[in-house]
Amino acid sequence: MRRFLVLISFLLTAQLTVAAEDKVAPPKVTKIGDPAPADAPVKDIEVTAKKYEFAPAVIEAPARSVVRVHLKAVDREHGFEMKAFKNSCVKFNPKETATAEIYMDKPGEYEFHCCNFCGLGHGKMKGKLVIK
């Protein structure tokens, strides 16, 4: 009987462990830009990356709103970095999406580029965020 209980508890534990691993981790969120007030409106945008382009390559958003860029990679690992903000590189790959939350006080055009070497065209993989 005791051996049976030990076996049952072992099986239950094993099953719980498997269930926990099945859960997909939420995408990591990286904040870029000015600090956003808690009540700022949010604009969600999906951006897909593949050698050697972002789609869309031009993102438009109003100033003083949180631009939540959901990054998906089609073919391999890429990166997303705002040129004006050093160390803002967000890496993502086909198995792991990522989110960049960008908040800008002032209108302007802000370049972003791939920050993970992905091949010969890596240097040309760019886009821009147009804040109106």
How many residues make contact with ligand CUA (CB under 6 A)? 8
Residue 91 near ligand CUA by CB under 6 A: no
Shortest separation between residue 59's beta carbon and ligand CUA, angstroms: 16
Shortest gap between Cβ of 27 and ligand CUA (angstroms)? 18
Phi-psi region of 97 (alpha: psi -120 to 50; beta: other; left: phi over 0): beta
Q: Quick check: 114 binds ligand CUA (CB under 6 A)?
A: yes
Q: Which of residues 3-42 bind ligand CUA (CB under 6 A)?
A: none
Could you say which of 36, 82, 104, 118 contacts ligand CUA (CB under 6 A)? 118
3-state class of 18 per DSSP?
Answer: helix
* C-alpha torsion sign, points 73, 76, 82, 87: positive
DSSP result, 67-86: EEEEEEESSS-EEEEETTST
